[in-house]
Amino acid sequence: MRYQEDEEMIMSLKDWRQALRTPPTYRVGNSTLRIQTTFVTIIALLGLFILLILYTTSKKNPKIVGYGLGSNDIYRNHYFPQPHERLERITRYDSVDEYYNATYPLTPPINTPSGVKYRIGIISDLDTNSKSKLESNTWISYFKTGHLMWLPSTSSITVVWDRTDPIELKSTFGQSGRGMELSELVVFNGKLLSFDDRTGLIYEINLDSNIAIPWVLLIDGNGMTTKGYKSEWATVKGHKLYVGSMGKEWTTSGGELQNLNPMWVKVVTTSGQVTHLNWEEQYKTLRRAVGVEFPGYVIHESGVWSEVHQRWFFLPRRLSKKRYNDETDEFMSTNILLSTDQHFSNVQVTYIGEVIPTHGYSSFKFLPATDDSVIIALKSEEDKGRSATYITAFHIDGKILLPEIKVADLKYEGIEFI
């Protein structure tokens, strides 16, 4: 009897373990449904993995939306992603995907009954007056802001500057006792940049805290010199920043050749990597189009690449068929617009109004949403120690839309839609 009870107990334990291993069975009508634990787990993990992939993909491809400027046809090809950002995929040299912030302008334009209202800014180059009189080892530049109103139906342009004083930007970086001689403004990768033509520094202008933050140092010539690059113009081409200098031979005050360093161009990536390009032939091609050969010269302080036209545009500041001379150079301003294809094989010359000998182009930008057909430009004046700045606008065919208007008795050398 004892042996029989033990045997029954052993059988009961076996039956209990077998029951645990066997999935429960339910009757649904006339069919049997078994819940397979392992199968359900695999399906759940697979679903989680798919959701993770979908989430990652949606983060990399933000939804594109408009700025809300209405249905005007001039905006039909201009869209901006939420919340206020436009990202474009780029592939680095190591095949790693990155995203370029193509938001432009940085501030959304406003559609009003009087036209489209844009936020603009200009930056000063005070030359030797950049040295602070209040702080030691400090240099300053002024950042002036305002609004530009554009009415497409009549091609009219109005500029209103903010009533507040310009923002004073400071830096303690200088070379040979000079610094913060900022010569250009450009939006690049969602940031507002400016360029010191003394130290070679590229600054990021932080619009929230109103400070200038050093980002990249450009070295003169081929990059193997001890002098900062004399940056004069900058533009964006193919998600890269192109920075140029005067585009003429460096000479003495009397015109004697010293070097070709100002004929090099810098290409800067979003990560700050710099490539040095020899543009000697490109610059010579441009000046030959207006009948100039060395020792004559053409000085460039503004240049913009147009993605729409796939062409370079330049508004030379000064031009002379004679040898460079410090005293006469101030009266060599131009009224010409040069444009060429990316291979510099087809240079076109357009004349803009009349020449004002002391008023030379220092910066320009295409008016957004005009298919790069309207230019907003700054002209600066340097005459016997006196400086001034003027703003003007015209069509790329030469038609003037806004005659010169005086901005200030300071030299501003960079303009941008911010």
What's the chain's average pLDDT?
86
Integer angstrom CA distances of residue 402 from 68, 262, 375, 382, 395: 27, 32, 10, 22, 10
Distance of CA 180 to the CA centre of its chain: 19
Are 140 and 51 contained in the same domain? no
Are 266 and 144 contained in the same domain? yes
Tokens of 30: 């006339």
What domain count does the chain have?
A: 2
Range in 29-38, 316-325, 394-403 the model is least confident about = 29-38
Q: What pLDDT, in 10s, does the model give residues 250-287?
A: 999 999 999 999 999 999 999 999 999 999 999 999 99
Predicted pLDDT of residue 78: 35
Q: How confident is the model at residue 73 (pLDDT cuts 50, 70, 90)?
A: very low
What is the CB neighbour count within 10 angstroms for residue 273?
12
Are 105 and 209 contained in the same domain? yes
Are 162 and 278 contained in the same domain? yes
**Residue 284 in contact with residue 298, Cβ under 8 Å?**
no
Please give the model's pTM, rounded to 2 decimal places: 0.80
Are 22 and 108 contained in the same domain? no
- Asked if the structure places residue 110 within a domain, the reply is yes
Are 42 and 129 contained in the same domain? no
pLDDT at residue 353 is higher than 50: yes
Are 53 and 135 contained in the same domain? no
Known binding-site residues equal: 183-184, 232, 301, 362, 413
Q: Which of these, 131, 142, 192, lies nearest to 166 by C-alpha position?
A: 142
**Residues facing 206 on adjacent strands:** 211
Range in 83-87, 272-276, 294-298 the model is least confident about = 83-87
**Residues facing 360 on adjacent strands:** 380
Predicted pLDDT of residue 60: 41
Are 54 and 183 contained in the same domain? no
State which of 35, 60, 85 marks the end of a domain: 60
Range in 47-51, 72-76, 147-151, 232-236 the model is least confident about = 72-76
Pairing state between β 182-188 and 191-196: antiparallel
CA distance 368 to 74: 9
Q: How confident is the model at residue 153 (pLDDT cuts 50, 70, 90)?
A: very high
Q: What pLDDT, in 10s, does the model give residues 137-146?
A: 999 999 999 9
CA distance 290 to 321: 9
SS3 415: strand
CA distance 357 to 340: 25
Q: How confident is the model at residue 91 (pLDDT cuts 50, 70, 90)?
A: low
Tokens 């070679």: give the residue: 200
For position 328, which CATH number holds? 2.120.10.100
- Asked if the structure places residue 80 within a domain, the reply is no
Predicted pLDDT of residue 76: 32
- Asked if the structure places residue 131 within a domain, the reply is yes
Q: Which of these, 4, 16, 117, 134, lies nearest to 69 by C-alpha position?
A: 117
Predicted pLDDT of residue 218: 99
Pairing state between β 139-151 and 156-161: antiparallel
* Mean per-residue pLDDT, 69-75: 34
Report the percent of the chain where pLDDT is more than 70. Answer: 79
- The whole domain housing 17 covers 2-60
Report the percent of the chain where pLDDT is more than 90. Answer: 75
pLDDT at residue 161 is higher than 90: yes
Are 325 and 198 contained in the same domain? yes
* Burial status of residue 154 (CB atoms within 10 A of its CB: 0-12, 13-18, 19 or more): exposed
Known binding-site residues for Ca(2+) equal: 183-184, 232, 301, 362, 413
* Mean per-residue pLDDT, 16-39: 46
Are 218 and 345 contained in the same domain? yes
Range in 38-47, 69-78, 204-213, 342-351 the model is least confident about = 69-78
pLDDT at residue 42 is higher than 60: yes
Q: What pLDDT, in 10s, does the model give residues 360-372?
A: 999 999 999 999 9
Query: Which value, in Å, is the radius of gyration of the alpha carbons in the chain?
Result: 32
- Asked if the structure places residue 68 within a domain, the reply is no
**The length of the chain, given as a count of residues:** 418
Integer angstrom CA distances of residue 274 from 190, 193, 241, 260, 305: 19, 15, 9, 19, 18
- Asked if the structure places residue 70 within a domain, the reply is no
Tokens of 232: 């004069």
N- to C-terminal Cα separation, the chain: 99
Distance of CA 225 to the CA centre of its chain: 27
- Comparing 76 with 29, the larger pLDDT belongs to 29
- Asked if the structure places residue 321 within a domain, the reply is yes
Q: What pLDDT, in 10s, does the model give residues 301-348?
A: 999 999 999 999 999 999 999 999 999 999 999 999 999 999 999 999
Predicted pLDDT of residue 47: 72
* Mean per-residue pLDDT, 1-20: 45
**Residue 344 in contact with residue 311, Cβ under 8 Å?**
no
pLDDT at residue 412 is higher than 90: yes
pLDDT at residue 4 is higher than 90: no
Q: How confident is the model at residue 88 (pLDDT cuts 50, 70, 90)?
A: confident
**Residues facing 377 on adjacent strands:** 364, 392
- Asked if the structure places residue 370 within a domain, the reply is yes
Secondary structure (DSSP) of 366-413: EPTTSTT-EEEEEEEEEETTEEEEEEEEEETTS-EEEEEEEEESS-EE
- Asked if the structure places residue 121 within a domain, the reply is yes
pLDDT at residue 36 is higher than 70: no
Are 49 and 107 contained in the same domain? no
Are 211 and 278 contained in the same domain? yes
SS3 26: strand
**Residue 391 in contact with residue 403, Cβ under 8 Å?**
no
Predicted pLDDT of residue 46: 76
Q: How confident is the model at residue 206 (pLDDT cuts 50, 70, 90)?
A: very high
